[in-house]
Amino acid sequence: MEENNKQLAVISLREIAQKVWSNRYSFIWPLSIAFVVASIYIFSLPRFYVADTKLAPEMENSLGKGSLSSIASSLGFDIGEMQTTDAITPLLYPDLMEDNGFITNLFKVNVKSKDGIINTTYYDYLINKQKKPWWSSLFGSKKEKTNNKFIDAYNLSKKDDEVVSIIRNKITLHVNSKSGVISISVQDQDPLICKSMADSVRENLQTYITNYRTNKARTDYEYYKKLTLEAKNEYEKARRRYSSMSDASTNVSLRSVELKLEDMENDMQLKFNAYSSMNSQLQAAKAKIQERTPAFTMLKGASVPIKPAGPKRLFFVAIIVILAFIGTSFWIIRKNISEIFV
């Protein structure tokens, strides 16, 4: 056992420190090169800003539930078990970032830079107006023409698919499973554009949720609207026929004419009842749309960020220099490793 212990190499930290110190001048070039290269790289990367906003359904205490249950109820789910009658639960909202249709809706959003120089669509801004590292010009990067052509979200060109990927990486959407609060964060190079896009994503999300929640109610409304219009037309035709027959038979006292007028009046009344019934259904469907439309409260509005969120230049340079120091130290120790073990 003692022999095995003697065979184990014990590193003397004191001797390592002495060895590193005695070769301290060997660090000058590696650390200098690491500092210069890291500085050139990180200072060439454009700075970016982050704007965030928070959204929640409006609380309704009249539901007779707790505040959190009220939030959950207006979105259509049970906060206790996170179950809902909807096919898409709030926890699935972040997956909207995977849908090309949701992302391409942001292409035509008009954006304006804080200095006022840029005033264009978000699509054109991402392709032609963003700052890029100096080395990107070495690979033939140039401005591309953009147009307002129709874009099929599910049959994208290579260029459009790249833009969709860029936007997808810039947006973070999170739903708190306990409170139901929706947090949206957007990253961009210009602070005002960053804020504008955070607002646009929030508005698009509200529209999507509203359209989804009211989809069946709106379908029912259009259906009853069609039936009501048809019933109204049938009633008006019956009324015109009855009016014409009644006017033409003013001075006629034949029993057959009276019976025909009665039949026409009954038919007109039946058609009026059908029209009235369909109109009631139409108004009920219209009210259902309002009932299913979720109300939102903006807990935190997106503001124009003052300070950039990154890249962390000093931190990056410091990390690279530290790694260079560690690497150089190992290289020095490796050369004299036999002298360090005791």
Banded model confidence at residue 266, pLDDT cuts 50, 70, 90: confident
Quick check: is 46 in a domain? no
Is residue 184 domain-shared with residue 245, that is, in the same domain?
no
Mark whether 265 and 165 lie in a shared domain. no
Lowest mean pLDDT: which of 42-46, 52-56, 148-152?
A: 148-152
pLDDT at 118 over 90: yes
The H-or-E segment that residue 112 falls in is strand 110-112
What would the mean pLDDT of 175-197 be, rounded to a whole number?
91
**What number of H helices and E strands is found in the chain?**
12, 8
CA distances from 310 to 73, 111, 157, 267 (A): 39, 21, 31, 76
- Cβ-based neighbour number of residue 214 at 10 Å: 18
Secondary structure letter of residue 126 according to DSSP: I
181 and 278 in a single domain? The answer is no
Residues 193 and 232 in one domain: no
Question: Once rounded to an integer, what is the mean pLDDT over residues 280-292?
Answer: 90
Which residue segment(s) compose the domain that 149 sits in? 51-213+294-314
The CATH code of the domain that includes 309 is 3.30.1890
Is the model's pLDDT at 6 over the cut of 50? no
> Is the residue at 261 inside a domain?
yes
Q: Are residues 134 and 70 in the same domain?
A: yes
- 287 and 304 housed in the same domain: no
Determine phi and psi for 34, rounding to 5 degrees.
Answer: -60, -40
Q: Which residues contact 323 (CB under 8 A, 6 or more apart)?
A: 34
82: left (phi over 0), alpha (psi -120 to 50) or beta: left
Quick check: is 33 in a domain?
Answer: no
Number of domain units in the chain: 2
Same domain, 209 and 230: no
- 57 and 113 assigned to the same domain: yes
The listed range with the strongest mean pLDDT (111-115, 136-140, 292-296) is 111-115
Same domain, 195 and 232: no
Whether 78 and 140 map to the same domain: the answer is: yes
What does the alpha-carbon distance between residue 213 and residue 199 come to, in Å, rounded to a whole number?
21
| Structural domain contains residue 300 | yes
Position of tokens 């107006």? 129
Q: What is the pLDDT of residue 88?
A: 58
Query: What's the pLDDT at 92?
Result: 72
pLDDT at 141: 58
pLDDT digits (tens, 9 = 90+) for 151-165: 888 898 999 999 999
Is 66 part of a structural domain of the chain? yes
Q: How far is CA 119 from CA 64, 105, 113, 146, 203, in A?
A: 49, 18, 7, 14, 20
Asked, for residue 329, whether it belongs to a domain, the answer is no
pLDDT at 51 over 90: yes
Q: Are 75 and 221 in contact (CB under 8 A)?
A: no
Residue 15 pLDDT class (50, 70, 90 cuts) = confident
Q: What is the pTM of this model?
A: 0.72
Least confident of 55-69, 94-108, 197-211, 260-274: 55-69
**85 and 230 belong to one structural domain:** no
Q: Which position has the higher pLDDT, 276 or 213? A: 276
**Residue 245: inside a domain:** yes
Looking at 66-70, 134-138, 199-203, which range is the least confident one?
Answer: 66-70
Given a cut of 60, is residue 70 above it in pLDDT?
no
Pairwise pLDDT comparison (147 vs 175), residue with the higher score: 175
Are 96 and 162 part of one and the same domain?
yes
Within 57-171, residue ranges assigned H as helices are: 67-75, 100-104, 122-124, 158-170
In this prediction, residue 7 has a pLDDT band, given cuts at 50, 70 and 90, of very low
Please, what's the largest Cα pairwise distance for the chain? 136
Burial of 53 (0-12, 13-18, 19+ CB in 10 A): buried
pLDDT band at 144 (very low <50, low <70, confident <90, very high): low
* pLDDT grade for 259, boundaries at 50, 70 and 90: confident
In a domain, 13, yes or no: no
Fill in the DSSP letter of residue 184.
E
Average pLDDT for 213-239: 91
pLDDT number for residue 178? 82
